[in-house]
Structures are given as C-alpha cells and as structure tokens.
Structure 1
Amino acid sequence: MDSEDPLVQGSIQTISTISPDSCTENILARTPNLKKLGIRGKLVILMKVNKNSSLFANLAKLDNLEKLKLLNDTFPRPPSEGKLRSLPQLYEFPPHLIKLTLSDTLLDWKHMSTIAMLPNLEVLKLKVCAFMGPQWDPIDGGFRLLKYLQIGKTDLERWKASGHHFPRLEHIVVEQCGSLVTVPIGLADVSALQTIELHHTPSAVYSARLIQEQKQAQALQKQQRYGFKLHIYPLEEVMK
C-alpha cells in the first residue's frame, strides 16, 4: 500500500488492543511504523492456517514492531477450551521483536524452543498460564540476548537450566509457581544476573538463597562489588 494513501497511518506506533481476526494484511499494512501491538481474543483464530498461511504471518511484515502482547481471551468459555496447540514458525514472527508477553495460552514447554530462537528478544513475560506442564528444558543456543524473564502462575515443577542457556539474563521474576521446586542453581554462573524475585513460590526459596550465596562468593573471589539482590514475597517466606 502506497505511503501517500490516506488510509495509511504512518504516525501510529502503538495499538494497545486489537482482535485476532483484525490482524489481516490490509489492516496491518495501514500502520507500517507500528512499534507496540497488543492482540486480545481467541488466539486460535490468529494461529489457524488457511491456504498455507495464517493471520499471525502478517505480523512478519511489521518491520518496526518491537513489542508484542498476546492475550488469549476465551470468555465466557474457560481458557482451557482455547488452548494453543503450537506456535507459528520462527519466520512468521516480527523480525525485530524485543519484548514478548503471553497470557492464558496454555502452551506446552516444548514450544518454548521457537521463542528461544527469536534473534533480538530481550524481555519475555509469561503471564498467567502462558505455558503449562511439569518440566521445562531450555534448548542450547537460545535466548542469546534475553535480559528479563518473568514466569507467572503455572504448574511448572522442574526447570532445568544452566548459565549457557541464558547467557545475558539480568532479572528473573517468578510469580505464583507453587509447584516449582527450584530456580536452577546453574543460573548463578550467569555473570550478568542482578536480581531474582519470588512471589508466592515458597518451594524455590532455598535454591534462590543458594544462588545468592554463590553470587556473593563469586564477587568475593573476583574482588568485585557484590550487587546481586534477592527479593522474596510475602515477607514471612523469608523467615522460613
């Protein structure tokens, strides 16, 4: 679509909420400079393949998009009826995506391998029930630029990872993950790691404290300033 077309809104950089069925090529082409996009509704519509493509594939044409929020809203039906079976192929994602937020998508952790390979991703927020399942084993070679990771309410029990899985990770936030046994001790080897926040995740407190101790020992050994911080909420869990 020509930039002089009156329907092209070149100045629009943010669309906070749009429905999945509105993510057509014609509509998205009117906002070529879009940087921030929120999609809310039945995401199965967005992912459904029709004639070897999907509505999600239209996002790959948004060369300037940096922030994408996908909220799976199936009301009045329960989110379980709108569970996503998979994610689109890597080439269907916006090419310069820096921040990705997912909520109520109920994806299996094996599909995290696609997100891990997004080349410019720095912030990943997994809100309520974004991914479900007892175990997450990150793939090698992924999350090369990831700095901020948030894991919201989920039934995750075992998160197996070491420093090379998240080489530039700075901040970890874990919320309402009551089944999570540990924060991976190997993440103590990530030199960039600055903070861990645990909210209502009591079983992982002990492992987070071990990471804190290792970070302190590393700083002492290297004669560096100790700057790592551990935050545990609610405060009564700190005393356990």
Structure 2
Amino acid sequence: MRALLYKEWREHRWVLLAMLLLLALGQAVALRAAGIMGSPMVAYQKIVAIMVPLMALVLANRLVVREYMGRTQLFLETLPVSRTQVLAVKWLLGCALLLLAMGACLGATLLLARHKVTLTPHYVAMVAIRSASFALFSYALAFAIGLTGRYRYVIWSMLAVCTMAANAVGQLAIQNWAPFYLAQESMVYERLVLPLSEVLVTCGIAAALVVATFALALSAEGSLVVALSRRMRSRENPPSPSASPQ
C-alpha cells in the first residue's frame, strides 16, 4: 500500500498542487466578490458548485483514465496487492483529496464570516453535509465514467443531452434535482431544516455508482477495463468524409 501511495504521489503531485493553487485562487476571488451577495458563505457555495465537478474530473482523469490509457497499470500488477485493493486505494485517495480540499475552503470561509453572519454548529453541519454529499456524488460519477476509457466522451455527451432534454420537458427543473439542489444557493441560506431526502437520494446514487465502478473494474479479472481503455484501431475509426471509395 505504501508503494502504491508513493507511486500516486510521485506521478500526480504537480497536478494536485496546481489544482490546489487554482482552488485557492478561486476561493480568494469568490470571497472578494461575496461582499455584494449578502454573505461570505455564498463564496463557498460558488466554489462547491463550480470547483467540485472540475476537481472530480481532474482527479478521475489522473487516477483512472491516465493510468489505463497510459498502460501504467502494468506497474500495479507487480505489487503484492489485489485489484480490489488497488481500486479501493485509488477511489478513497481521490475522494479524500476532494473532501479535504473542500473542508479547507469551508474552514477559510467560516473564519472570514465569523464576525459577519451568525454561525451555529447546526448551520455549519448542514452546509458541510450538503457540500460533502454533492462532492461524493460528483467524484463517484467522474470515477465510474473514467473507467469506460475511450467511451467516456460518448457517455458524458449522452448524459448532457438527456439532462437537457429532461430539464426542457420535465416538470422539475434541473436545479431542483436531488444532487444539484444540494449545491444551490439555498445551501448557505437555509438554516433550520436539512433537506434529508435530497441528501439520501444523492448518497444513494453515489453508492450505486461505487458498486457499478467495482463491478466494471473487477469483471473478467480486470480485462474489460483494459479493453475499454485501448485506443481505437484504424478499422474501428469512422471513415473520413473526404476518403474516396476504392
């Protein structure tokens, strides 16, 4: 396990540090702009809504997509650890980094807001639970789709199209869907009641994504994920429009 963690740190440390620097810059900008929004806590809501999905994508790309498409997973097969352990370490490492980063942002925001808004343990816990649930969902989704390798762009595109279609024809707007509702501005303005149903639905979706992740990664002794991550061969690529028939 120590060798695996060291390998991840050595391979991704500069990207992780750059990501944290970008997060700190975004936090500073959001806090500066939050003065006209009525509460410094709005800055944290903006960070959660924007930076959490972005960081989840970056972490999933570094820990999963780059690993399999770059064939560096061959190194992992030399370690005395099982595929389940490798996958669990990668998933937990990325999730822990994301939650710790958001925890640091929340702490910095609370430090600045302590003399400007009323902060109670109940209110802070509500904000933390909502943001952590949204971060868990975002990371679980990015990690699961990252395992699909070359098909990940197709899946992301299909999700985007289906979401926009459901938002256009459905009775419930997308911002009111359970995962997205948790990251709305109501996160910092609702002080009394935690939206428990939305939290449970979001965590339930995240749990289902985790199960799907392990099922996909461990099926066929891991060969399915390796096959999905391979680049398309020339005969699999669609013909170019300019190509003339033979």
Q: TM-score range by the shorter chain?
A: under 0.3
TM-score computed with the length of structure 1 as normaliser = 0.23
TM-score computed with the length of structure 2 as normaliser = 0.22
Structure number with greater Rg is 2
Higher strand share: 1
